[in-house]
Structure 1
Amino acid sequence: MTLTEEIKEYAKIIGIDEIRITGAEPFLEVREFLMNMEERDYLSKFINNDIELITEPKQILSTAQSVIVCAISYYHEIESPPSFKEELRGKFSKFAWGRDYHQVLGEKLEQLIGFLRTKNDNLEVKKFVDTGPTVDRALARRAGIGWQGKNCSIINPDYGSWIFIGGIITNLELEFDAPIEDQCSGCRKCIEACPTGALVDEYTLKSNKCLGYITLSKGYIEKEDRRKMGTRIWGCDTCQDVCPHNQKVKFGNHSDFLPQTLEAYPQLSSLLALTNKDYEEKFKPTPMNWRGKRPIQRNAAIVLGNLKNPKAIPHLLKGLDDPKPIVRAHSAWALGEIGEPSVIGDLKKRLAKEREEEVIVEIEGVIDKLSDLC
């Protein structure tokens, strides 16, 4: 058995669903593509802006010969509530349901590195899981983990695009795998289903228009985008949900990615009133652990507005008194979306003591809107 075969066999034993190997050559086409995307302001702010670094594995590890690319499936099915509106619930994207994937996959990669050390005394490695200084999807595509879909996700023949990707850059000389042929053909379902039009063309995502980016961002969300969020609290699975290659996928055997400390479809009132203690206990173990609680509260207010259920009014009135302006502003907007003029008095009371300009503008706009309904 070759070292490459031993590595792949061990990876399966420790629960890595797919493992492929590619070379450490630079991604010159990807570099050009990313520079073009940056010029058009399509590039995600979450991507390392050193494009030369992330497209050149040997800048990360000068002795690099091979890149071991790994994927684990996070797909699970959980029945959604009978009525989001009646129960005042929203939804988290599947990737956010369970334990932080950076840790789960990172631990498996550490196990794999430990195995490699038993095979080579002069081993050199650099590990990456999503946040590393490299283009994970380009590596996955070249290694044959999957092909790049028109929604820009890597699609694996068995697990679809419901996969987390990570890997190891190493000085080991290993046998390489071949890329997989694109199987999207003439399909455009993901592009047609995108709620914001962020998929501006095949294989082209305007990141700052994607709800997967918007719901994770800080600050005030544009009104147009608030409505397009629908019931989404964190992330967006729409382009994956409609993909034909995601309809009959294999399940990864990873209970870590089932909800641990949070429901997949949580009650929004508890998120709007989220305390620091609740955030630490419920969100810190998840991939949502890096933004703080304010964007979650903001998004909960938005979804309550989108549900348009008057039962949400008492919760949103409490949101008007939140210490953070961003929560007050979006709570006010949500009251306007529900459209009950009976809250005008409460809004005027808040307005009388409000000092933040952006909140004042939101409240005044809602008062005008509701007054027209009287």
Structure 2
Amino acid sequence: MERSEFKKKVVDYAHSIGIDQIGFTHAEPFTEFREKLIDYHRRGYASGFEKGSVDERTEPRLSLGSARSIISIAVGYPNRLPDAPKSRKGERRGMFARASWGVDYHTLLNRRLARLEDYIKSLDPSIECRSMVDTGVLSDREVARRSGLGYIGKNGFVINPELGTYSYLGEMITSYPFPPDEELIDSCGDCNLCVDRCPTGALVGNGQLDSKKCISFLTQTKGFLPDEYRGKIGNRLYGCDTCQQVCPRNKGINTDHHADIVLEPEILKPELTGLLEISNKDFKEIYGHLAGVWRGKKPIQRNAIIALAHFREESAVDTLKRVAENDPRPVIKGTAYWAIGRILGDRALDYISERYKMETDEAVRDEMLKGVQEVA
């Protein structure tokens, strides 16, 4: 079978199993990306969540010795939430970023890649394959760019003409020499909206990101959130969509045809106080299928507390007091005390003063003082 015919069969099958876009590239090293990656680390922009060394991230044959080509896939996801519940006084709600809507995208993409691999091997059993989704060492975005699925925007996302930036990306390294696709030559031009609107100034231009300033990264950390960012995350429980929401290339795009991406408004925009005392079992049952809870319950609860402080939600104070007094985790306890101070202001002084005598953890005590001092 001719390589072009083989490729067409793979493309047609990919589309039949819910892969919106598919592209192909060679398996030679990502030389230009290597230099960007070295500079990224040199500037201290890395989040620490990245997998693999610079060599592993830029040399496909370190992942599959027989590699001759790479297949990149994109599955679009929705960015509008029908019937979303309103966030009202007395019932404030948080928000999961759009990439976390529906089943965990790792599961969704790995299922498609597994079916694609089975199909390829049914055509030629000798072909070797290795698939990756996000947690692999290769850069999903760089593979997609070189495979012609889009160009890298100033917000760091792959911008595809049909999907915009709202797509999940994955790739498969193969030992078969698929004919490569041409790269998409495009740019953001003079548009700088994403850079200008980034709440923390994390976007530094030319698609570069200072990950440690990025709200998406910050919402996934487990320690106390740095003071300078607490007023920036608003009601975000996981992730941040600002740089995608303002992108003109996303105008009119809403990919909502995938049956396995089920939107659950009450879960994706949950009532905040209900998250604070939820059991591990209930949390896992209700939210465990979301990509946004991969770090567990603690970051979500911390972010929910900060969101209640953002709203100055007085109806949550009794719950926050129970959490502050009874939760054994210093980050949750301390953040709850801080939030009480932020919400009540001077009215929290007597309560904080009394509880300060009982708390022994220095980090918690610092948060207690910080909460009332910030509104003094």
TM over 0.5: yes
Aligned residue among 222, 227, 248 for 2:226: 222
Residue ranges of structure 1 left out of the alignment (5+ in a row): none
Aligned residue among 144, 147, 169 for 2:173: 169
Q: Deviations over 1:233-289 (max 9, x none)?
A: 110000000000111115142243333596221100011222111221122211134
CA RMSD of aligned residues (A): 1.7
Q: Residue 215 of structure 2 aligns with which residue?
A: 211
**How many residue pairs end up in the alignment?**
371
Q: Distance in 2 between matches of 1:94 and 1:252?
A: 12
Q: 1:311 Cα shift?
A: 1.7
Structure 1 position 70 matched with structure 2 position 70: no
Q: How does 1:281-292 map to 2 (within 5 A)?
A: 281-292=285-296
Residue ranges of structure 2 left out of the alignment (5+ in a row): none
Q: How does 1:293-308 map to 2 (within 5 A)?
A: 293-308=297-312
Aligned residue among 301, 311, 316 for 1:312: 316
Structure 1 position 343 matched with structure 2 position 348: yes
What SS does structure 2 have at the residue aligned with 1:353?
Answer: coil
Q: Distance in 2 between matches of 1:365 and 1:2?
A: 66
Q: Distance in 1 between matches of 2:134 and 2:309?
A: 33
Counterpart of 1:342 in structure 2: which amino acid?
R
TM-score (norm: length of structure 1): 0.95
Q: Distance in 1 between matches of 2:114 and 2:320?
A: 45
Structure 1 position 121 matched with structure 2 position 125: yes
Q: Residue 56 of structure 1 aligns with which residue?
A: 59
Structure 1 position 333 matched with structure 2 position 356: no
Q: Distance in 2 between matches of 1:333 and 1:54?
A: 41
Report if aligned partners of 2:338, 2:369 keep a CA contact under 8 Å in 1.
Answer: no
Counterpart of 2:34 in structure 1: which amino acid?
R
Q: Distance in 2 between matches of 1:250 and 1:294?
A: 31
| Cα distance, 1:87–1:47 mapped onto 2, change above 3 Å | same
Counterpart of 2:64 in structure 1: which amino acid?
L
What SS does structure 1 have at the residue aligned with 2:66?
Answer: coil
Report if aligned partners of 1:320, 1:350 keep a CA contact under 8 Å in 2.
Answer: no
Q: Which moved more, 1:282-291 or 1:32-41?
A: 282-291
Q: Deviations over 1:46-90 (max 9, x none)?
A: 112401111111111111111010010111411544445552111
Counterpart of 1:364 in structure 2: which amino acid?
L
Q: 1:172 Cα shift?
A: 0.7
Q: Residue 138 of structure 1 aligns with which residue?
A: 142
Aligned residue among 87, 96, 99 for 1:95: 99
Aligned residue among 194, 197, 202 for 1:193: 197
What SS does structure 2 have at the residue aligned with 1:157?
Answer: coil
What SS does structure 2 have at the residue aligned with 1:361?
Answer: helix
Aligned residue among 114, 125, 128 for 1:110: 114
> Among the aligned pairs, what percent are the same residue?
37
What SS does structure 1 have at the residue aligned with 2:357?
Answer: helix
Q: How does 1:246-257 map to 2 (within 5 A)?
A: 246-257=250-261
Report if aligned partners of 2:148, 2:181 keep a CA contact under 8 Å in 1.
Answer: yes
Q: Deviations over 1:209-249 (max 9, x none)?
A: 00010001121111110110011111000000000011111
